[in-house]
Amino acid sequence: MTKFSDLKLGPKVQKAIEEAGYETPTPIQAQAIPAALEGRDVLGIAQTGTGKTASFTLPMITHLARGRAKARMPRSLVLAPTRELAAQVAENFDTYAKHVKLTKALLIGGVSFKEQDQLIDKGVDVLIATPGRLLDHFERGKLLLTDVKIMVVDEADRMLDMGFIPDIERIFSLVPFTRQTLFFSATMAPEIERITNTFLSSPHRVEVARQATASETIAQAVLEFKPSRRDRAASEKRRALRELIDREGDKLTNAIVFCNRKTDVDTVSKSLKKYGYDAAPIHGDLDQSQRTRTLDGFRGGELRILVASDVAARGLDVPSVSHVFNFDVPGHAEDYVHRIGRTGRAGREGKAITICQPSDEKNLEDVERLLGKPIPRVELEAHAEAPAKNEEEAGTPKPERRSSRRRSKEVEPANVAEPAQDVEPVKQADAEPAANAPAKDEKPKPQRGRGSRQGGRDNNRDRDVIGMGDHLPSFIEKSFEERLAS
C-alpha cells in the first residue's frame, strides 16, 4: 500500500497532512499525485468523497512552494462550478498549505469586486474561482492569466450541467499553452471527453469507484407517494416528509433534504420550520453570507436539517450525515448516487429515503437501473389516522371551505408557499398521467386504504380492508424497520 511518504510531496506539505490526521493516501491520491508532481496533465474520473481535492491541492502546493507571484498574474488557477465548492477548495489550501507561505484569492459571486481586486493586485499564487466571476474580472482588465502554470478544472460534469463549458473553453484559451492541466469529473459525458481531448496533453488517466456505486452502508428506501387529491399534492407531500423524519426518531442526528426545484427548497424549508423542525435552505439564489452561515451551522451541528438543491449541495463535505431525504427523485440517476453519498460516509451507517410521486416513476426506474437493483419500498401510516392537530391536512377530503382555509393556513404563518407553487405537482400529474391518476373528469375520491391502488412488489398493498372502511390500523402493517430489512 502506498504511504504519503512515498509520494515525494514537500516536507511542509507532509507535515500538514500528518496534522490533518490522514494515514494513507486514498486511491485517487496515490495515482494522481505522482503524475501531477512529474508535471503531467491528469484526468481524474472521481466523485466527491474520494479525496480528489487533496489529489490536486497537495502537488500544487509542493510546486508553488518555489517561486513568487507577480502582481495581477496568478500562478495557478482552480475552477469550480459553485461558490461552495470553490470555498471548500480554498479551505483545503488553508489546511494543507499552513506551513508554506502561499497567497490565494477566492473569486466567487456575492463577494465585492473591490476586495478581490486588492488581493489580485498584490499577486496571488492560487486563484480559486467560479468561471463566470473569473471572466468578469478578466474583462474588467484586472487580471492577467499569462503566468498560470497549473490549471485545475474541478467537477467538470457539473460545469457541463450548469452551462459553463463555453466559459471553460474561453478560459483555456486565455492561459498559456505550456501550463499543466489537472482535470476532474465524476462522469465522462461526450462533451467532457471532447474538452479533455482538446485541452489536455497526453493526460495520466485515473479512474476510481464506478459512478453507480452506492455505499453498502446506506440503507435505502422509497415511499411511493400518492396524494389523496391533486390540489393537496404539495402539502400532503410535505406532510409525508415530516412523517418520514419523525419515524426516524433519535437515529436522525442530522439530515439533508434534497429537492429538484429551488422553489421547493424554500417552501419545504419554511414548512419544516413552521412545524417546529430545525431546518434551513441552501440554494444558488441565496446570498453568499447566508449560504456560508447555513453551511457552517450544519457542519457545526447547530442546524439539524439542511434543505438543498443538487447544485448547492454538490461536493459539499459534511462528514457525518445520518439521513438523506429525497423530496423528489432526481432527474439524473447519477444525482441520486451523489445525493445519498452524503450519508454512510467512511463506513458509517446512513439512511436514504426517497419520496416518489407518480410523475417521478420514470426517474425512479432510471435510478434502479443504474443501481442494478430495486430499492425497498416503505409506507406511511394511513392518513385517516393522522393526529387531530394536523386535521386540516389529513387525507380525507373536506368541504371546499375548509380546504381553502387549510391552504391559507399553510401559507400564513411563515409565508410558506405561494399558491402557485402548491399546485405545481398537479400540473405535472396532468402532463404525465400515471396509470392510477384520477381521470380528468373524475371527481377526487377519498384516499383508500394506504397505497391501495399501487402496483409494485408488495402485494399487501392491493388489499381492501373489510369491516374498517378505508382505514387500516397501523399495527396491522409491518414496521418501517421490518420493511427496510425485508
Residues lying near ligand AMP in the complex (CB under 6 A): 22, 25-26, 29, 48-54, 317
Residue 216 DSSP SS3: coil
- CA distance linking residue 444 with residue 229, whole number of Å: 6
Alpha carbon 450 to chain centroid distance? Answer: 31
For ligand AMP, the closer CB: 29 or 62: 29
Question: Can you read off the three cell numbers belonging to residue 182?
Answer: 489537472
E strand segments, 164-285? 180-185, 204-207, 218-224, 255-258, 279-282
Q: How far is the CB of 25 from ligand AMP (least distance, A)?
A: 5
For ligand AMP, the closer CB: 209 or 371: 209
For ligand AMP, the closer CB: 54 or 375: 54
Q: How far is the CB of 320 from ligand AMP (least distance, A)?
A: 11
For ligand AMP, the closer CB: 35 or 386: 35
Residue tagged 373489510 (cell numbers): 466
- Per the CB < 8 A criterion, the answer to whether 474 and 382 are in contact is yes
DSSP string, 125-160: SEEEE-HHHHHHHHHTT----TT--EEEE-SHHHHH
- CA distance linking residue 126 with residue 93, whole number of Å: 9
Q: How far is CA 338 from CA 3, 6, 158, 374, in A?
A: 28, 31, 12, 18
Q: How far is the CB of 3 from ligand AMP (least distance, A)?
A: 11
**CB-CB neighbours of 164 under 10 Å:** 20
For ligand AMP, the closer CB: 18 or 481: 18
For ligand AMP, the closer CB: 15 or 471: 15
For ligand AMP, the closer CB: 72 or 314: 314
Q: How far is the CB of 353 from ligand AMP (least distance, A)?
A: 24
- Position with the least CB separation from ligand AMP: 53
Q: How far is the CB of 29 from ligand AMP (least distance, A)?
A: 6
- CA distance linking residue 236 with residue 271, whole number of Å: 12
Residue 293 DSSP SS3: helix
**Closest of 189, 136, 196, 193 to residue 172, by C-alpha:** 196
For ligand AMP, the closer CB: 53 or 269: 53
- CA distance linking residue 213 with residue 90, whole number of Å: 28
